[in-house]
Amino acid sequence: MKKALLQLNTAVFLWGFTGVLGRLISLQEYALVWNRLLITTICLWALYALQKKAVRLPWKSVLYVAAVGTVQALHWVCFYGSIKWSNVTIALTCLSTSALMAALIEPMLTAKKLRLLEVVLGLFTIAGIALIYKSHLEFSTGIWIGLLSALLTVIVSVLNKKMVNQYQPEQITLYQLSGGFVGLTLLAPLATSFLNQPIVLWLLILSIVCTIFTFMLYIRSLKQVSAFTMNLLLTLEPVYGILLAFILFREDRLLDTHFYLGFALIAAAVVVHIALLVRNGKETLTSASEI
136: confidence class by pLDDT, cuts 50, 70, 90? confident
Q: Is pLDDT at 284 greater than 50 in this prediction?
A: no
Higher pLDDT, 212 or 129: 129
Tens digit of each residue's pLDDT (9 = 90 or more) over 2-18: 677 787 788 888 888 89
pTM over cut 0.75: yes
3-state secondary structure of 290: coil
Residue 216 has pLDDT above 50, yes or no: yes
pLDDT in tens, 137-150: 899 999 999 999 99
What average pLDDT does this structure show over 205-216?
84
Could you give the angle at the alpha carbon of 80 between the alpha carbons of 230 and 214, nearest 5°? 35
235-258 tens-digit pLDDT: 677 888 898 999 999 998 888 888
Integer angstrom CA distances of residue 211 from 8, 14, 21:
13, 9, 12
110 or 158, which is more confident: 158
pLDDT: is 94 or 233 the higher one?
A: 94
CB 288 within 8 A of CB 219: no
Tens digit of each residue's pLDDT (9 = 90 or more) over 23-72:
999 888 998 999 999 999 999 999 888 887 767 888 988 999 999 999 99
Longest Cα–Cα distance of the chain, Å, equals 54
In sequence order, the 6+-apart residues with CB closer than 8 A to the CB of 147 are: 94, 97, 129
Whether pLDDT at 80 is above 70:
yes
Question: Among residues 218, 105, 211, which one has the least CA distance to residue 154?
Answer: 105
Q: How confident is the model at residue 151 (pLDDT cuts 50, 70, 90)?
A: very high
Angle (nearest 5°) at CA 58 between 56 and 59: 110
Alpha-carbon separation of residue 175 from 23, 59, 69 (angstroms): 27, 11, 7
Is the pLDDT confidence value at 169 over 80? no
The stretches of the chain forming alpha helices (DSSP H) are 2-24, 29-51, 59-85, 88-95, 98-109, 116-135, 140-161, 169-187, 201-204, 214-222, 227-234, 236-249, 257-280
